[in-house]
Amino acid sequence: MVRSLALIPRLFALLLVAGGIFLPECRAEGPAARPNLLLIVADDLGYGDLSIHGCKDISTPHIDSIAREGVRCSDGYVSAPQCSPTRAGLLTGRYQQRFGHEFNSAVPGSALALSETTLADRLRAAGYVTGLVGKWHLGTDDAHHPLKRGFQEFFGFLGGANPYLPQGPAGEVPRILRGREPAHETSYLTDAFAREAVAFIDRHQKESFFLYLAFNAPHGPLQAKEESLKRFATIADETRRTYAAMVSALDEAVGAVLGKLRAAGLDDQTLVVFLSDNGGPTDVNASRNTPWRGVKGEVREGGIRVPFFLRWKGRLPAGTVYQQPVIQLDLLPTALAAAGVPLPAEPPLDGVNLLPYLDGQKAEAPHDVLYWRFNFPPRQPSRYKWAIRQGRWKLFTDIDANRQKRNRSDRADARMLVDLTTDIHESTDLSQQYPEKFQALEAAWKMWNAEMAEPGENRAASRRDRDNTR
């Protein structure tokens, strides 16, 4: 009898195989399971253009849901007020100035330095399936193609901007690739990116995946679907009306992707992140960075402080607001920690794992200081825009991007010290009242700056990195 009972597990296993049931295909459940990672990036989205941030003429329920079901970082920053350098920092976890990725370079061959290891590289090596849907903007030649930077699948475009609507005799959206081949896309581009993201999740729902969903909306050119425009007929300004329709389409696209996670039973097994790559260029696309002052291209809050939400159901507290400064550089170490991948010792990361801060395990701030350096226009390193934030204090160069466009000779380096807890509009210079704080922050920024590469065409490496490789 004992021997007969011992045979039961074997017989059960044979029956499972004979019936076509293969246990290894089942996805691991519970805390030991590695989460999926969904990183959603909007392009040139104004801080004040989400309903959760008080927007009245555009409703964004799906994007808002990420914040309401997760953590909203009120002091969430990006390390550059422009597209490509922010993405370079995002995918490396390092200040992009360390490897010379200073701005949106138009020089052929400029790209994310091959010396850098991307988040996709690291997660792919750990067994994740990796995919990019959307905008790349980190190199257009084959050596820097997404498929050579850690991504196993790619659908999107390589440059910094792209039309949304089909055009020309073929009736296709130009320059869209699937892998390396033309995709012959005929749908509105935001919708196409949502469709491809949903399909990626569907293909890989039984695997651990990393999906980088980099929408180009609402970056120019300003193009919207007719049905979307009709919903905003009451907005008198044509530019704002088109922009609102584009943001609404973006929100619907995010909703489609979140809906797929829910339908596949992956809601609790996916860390979802949403942010914008910089502040809105208000004079170009009628975006609004309310309540901050400043725009894309500036180191005022309006250029670098962005929507920044993280949702991981059952792991991060839902509906909370985290008020310490964080930066997009933190997302690489946060993703690696969530995936159980050890953080690299070399090269050193500038970002930190946010998980123990967001869930309350650590009460201190993740960063003592955050730094910015942005050169406008290229090849004029004496015309830095720079900033440093330490707690409530921020020291920055008061150079207005819109004023520069109108008058290139107006480039006075007017440094301002502000207290962000009492002056969110950065309007009152306190450098005379607090000279020691001014001097300390200026000295700290100069020390950091001395470690960075000179502004280059997105090819250089920092002094420290060069020393480490000699």
Say if 13 falls within a structural domain.
no
Active site annotation includes 73: no
**Catalytic residue from among 101, 137, 204, 219:** 137
Give yes or no for residue 7 having a pLDDT over 50.
no
Q: Are residues 187 and 105 in contact, defined by beta-carbon separation less than 8 angstroms? A: no
On whether both 314 and 460 belong to a single domain, the answer is no
Say if 26 falls within a structural domain.
no
On whether both 165 and 248 belong to a single domain, the answer is yes
Number of domains in the chain: 2
Active site annotation includes 137: yes
Give yes or no for residue 154 having a pLDDT over 50.
yes
Give yes or no for residue 179 having a pLDDT over 50.
yes
On whether both 324 and 429 belong to a single domain, the answer is no
State the average pLDDT over residues 398-419: 60
Measured between alpha carbons, how far apart are the two ends of the chain, in Å? 72
Q: Check residue 168 and give its pLDDT.
A: 93
Task: Write out pLDDT tens, residues 8-21.
Answer: 444 444 443 444 43
Q: What is the CATH number of the domain that holds 424?
A: 3.30.1120.10
% of the chain with per-residue pLDDT over 70:
84
Instruction: Select from 293, 326, 358 the last residue of a domain.
Output: 358
For residue 225, give the DSSP letter.
Answer: -
Q: Check residue 406 and give its pLDDT.
A: 43
Say if 311 falls within a structural domain.
yes
What residues contact 159, with CB distance under 8 A and at least 6 apart? 135, 136, 137, 140, 175
State the average pLDDT over residues 386-411: 71
**Catalytic residue from among 55, 62, 73, 83:** 83
Task: Write out pLDDT tens, residues 186-206.
Answer: 999 999 999 999 999 999 999
Q: Are residues 22 and 254 in contact, defined by beta-carbon separation less than 8 angstroms? A: no
Confidence of residue 387 (pLDDT cuts 50, 70, 90): very high
Determine what percent of the chain falls in helix, strand and coil, rounding each to the nearest 5.
Answer: 35, 15, 50
Q: What is the CATH number of the domain that holds 212?
A: 3.40.720.10
Range of the domain at 417: 370-469
Q: Per-residue DSSP letters for 347-384?
A: SPPS----HHHHTTS--S-S-S-EEEEEESSTT-GGGE
Q: Check residue 353 and give its pLDDT.
A: 99
On whether both 50 and 180 belong to a single domain, the answer is yes
On whether both 138 and 222 belong to a single domain, the answer is yes
Give yes or no for residue 110 having a pLDDT over 90.
no
Paired tokens of 313: 């159901």
Average pLDDT over all residues of the chain: 89
On whether both 188 and 44 belong to a single domain, the answer is yes
Paired tokens of 336: 């690696």
State the average pLDDT over residues 281-298: 96
On whether both 91 and 59 belong to a single domain, the answer is yes
Give whole-number Cα distances, 227 to 49, 188, 392, 418, in Å. Answer: 20, 12, 45, 45
Task: Write out pLDDT tens, residues 312-336.
Answer: 999 999 999 999 999 999 999 999 9
On whether both 348 and 410 belong to a single domain, the answer is no
On whether both 92 and 188 belong to a single domain, the answer is yes
On whether both 379 and 341 belong to a single domain, the answer is no
Instruction: Select from 305, 328, 358 the last residue of a domain.
Output: 358
Q: What is the CA radius of gyration of the chain?
A: 23
Query: Whole-model pTM?
Result: 0.90
* Residue whose entry in the numeric block shows the structure tokens 């530019």: 239
Give yes or no for residue 61 having a pLDDT over 90.
yes
Confidence of residue 454 (pLDDT cuts 50, 70, 90): confident
